[in-house]
Amino acid sequence: MHMTSTERTDKALRAIADSGAEGARIFTQVYTASALAAAAAADARAAAGITLGPLDGRIVSIKDLFDVAGEATTAGSKVLRDAPPAEKDAVIVQRLRAAGAILIGKTNMTEFAFSGIGINPHYGTPGNAQDVTRIPGGSSAGAGVAVARGMCEIAIGSDTGGSIRIPSAFNGVTGFKPTQARVSREGAFPLSFSLDTVGPLAKDVLDCAQTDAVLSGQTWQPLAQRAVAGLRIGVPRGLLFTQVDEQVLAAFEQAVAALQSAQARVSDAALDDLLSAPFRLQEKGTLIAAEAAHVHGALLAAGKENELDALVLSRLRRGETIAAPHYVAVQQARAQLQPQLDAAIADFDILALPTVPVVAPSIASLDDEDTFHRTNMLVLRNPSVFNFYDLPAVSLPLPRQAGAMPVGLMLVGKRNGDRELLAVATALEQLLQAQG
């Protein structure tokens, strides 16, 4: 049955309210009045036969690091609660409003977006949509849960090392990380200038593609139709397939078998030297840690470290120790390696691998700091490689048994080939849904 924007918005707001304290952990702000007003305006346009585009009347949440005029941008941190209010909306917020999107609220996140786990001691940790005792994935923690639980139709997140794709994989939704330059980051609180990207989480690839068009300031054009038969798919077995849960590997291999049955040309890709390079190069410190230490230098100098999440603080402190020659060397090596990987994957349409090597662990299991950091590194491992190489990537939910934890399939495309990747992802999505 067709529902109006007002009816769908009311339903989403009720889902947030009915979840009680959990809703307050998923959303840091809920825009009840303005969302209902935007929904009524969308319904009035629809009744008059007017549309502002594919997101007109769609319910969208934004991660709590995007500026909204008149509000402090807290980026998941209590230390920023009293920051000066933003003077104007972030560029992507402006574009969403202009496209008729209904902004329902801001979703919770890891403090300063600095972890792939999703734990937040200041505003609470959203429980996984499948099992609230497990982590949501981060840093766009509330975003993945909100989409999966029907609290919004589309969520806007950021992805520096997997922060869109990890919560998508853990909560059973679809997430898209674009080529970095595709979407403006103006008005987005930074983690890493070199690696931050902005993109959507949603129930399917079409919603992600239409949202990407709005975020990138492009007029929506339908994606090209791609057949699975004949697709050249590379599977980069090696490092990124180590420490993989049995459930994750089984789901991945079932997907590969389905692709082969549909006559996709699936072959192993010998890329381990290139895909392991980001880890070898950054053993003495990461680009993210160095740049985050710069971003938060004044805060750390002001002696407010006791107000920060200790797990985030330890990573910021590590960033302060990274020597400038090392940082420059990593940047120079990255610039040289990117065209090498581009050449190595030129004969493939996409790469395919597990988004995250494990299913979401329990929140309680990460109480120990060493376990937390070790798990965080493992969760970030696969997606972060493709931030380093600035390649667009999609996480698709794989078919699963009722009650099983979600598993994500990551598809990686070519730099600036974002729409082609989304077209291929649509074809694979349809195949996987038929298998499920």
pLDDT tens-digit map of 227-279: 999 999 999 999 999 999 999 999 999 999 999 999 999 999 999 999 999 99
pLDDT tens-digit map of 50-75: 999 999 999 999 999 999 999 999 99
Reported as a pLDDT band with limits 50, 70 and 90, residue 435 is confident
- The answer to whether residue 85 scores a pLDDT higher than 90 is yes
User: Domain 232-435 in CATH: superfamily?
Assistant: Amidase signature (AS) domain (3.90.1300.10)
Q: Is 90 helix (H, G, I), strand (E, B) or coil?
A: coil
- The answer to whether residue 14 scores a pLDDT higher than 90 is yes
- Contact indicator for 210, 95 with CB cutoff of 8 Å: no
Q: Is 120 helix (H, G, I), strand (E, B) or coil?
A: coil
Taking residues 30-51, report their average pLDDT: 98
- For residue 107, the surrounding DSSP H or E stretch is strand 102-107
pTM of the model: 0.98
- The answer to whether residue 102 scores a pLDDT higher than 80 is yes
- Contact indicator for 363, 133 with CB cutoff of 8 Å: yes
Taking residues 348-373, report their average pLDDT: 97
* pLDDT value of position 27: 98
Reported as a pLDDT band with limits 50, 70 and 90, residue 361 is very high
pLDDT tens-digit map of 275-311: 999 999 999 999 999 999 999 999 999 988 889 999 9
For the chain, give the mean pLDDT.
97
Q: Is 420 helix (H, G, I), strand (E, B) or coil?
A: helix
User: Domain 5-215 in CATH: superfamily?
Assistant: Amidase signature (AS) domain (3.90.1300.10)
Taking residues 116-125, report their average pLDDT: 98
Report CA torsion sign: 186, 188, 194, 195: negative
276 φ, ψ (degrees, to nearest 5): -90, -10
* pLDDT value of position 304: 87
Answer yes or no: same fold for 5-215 and 232-435: yes
Q: At which residue do the structure tokens 């639980």 appear? A: 149
* pLDDT value of position 349: 98
DSSP bridge partners of 63: 107
- For residue 21, the surrounding DSSP H or E stretch is helix 21-26
- The answer to whether residue 112 scores a pLDDT higher than 90 is yes
pLDDT tens-digit map of 180-217: 999 999 999 999 999 999 999 999 999 999 999 999 99
Give the tokens for residue 373. Answer: 């950091």
Q: Which of 19, 63, 140, 194 is catalytic?
A: 63
Give the tokens for residue 272. Answer: 């381990």
Taking residues 124-148, report their average pLDDT: 98
- Catalytic residue at 163? yes
- Catalytic residue at 168? no
**Percentage of the chain surpassing pLDDT 90?**
97
- Catalytic residue at 314? no
Q: Which of 5, 19, 77, 139 is catalytic?
A: 139
Q: Hey, where are the domains in the chain? A: 5-215, 232-435
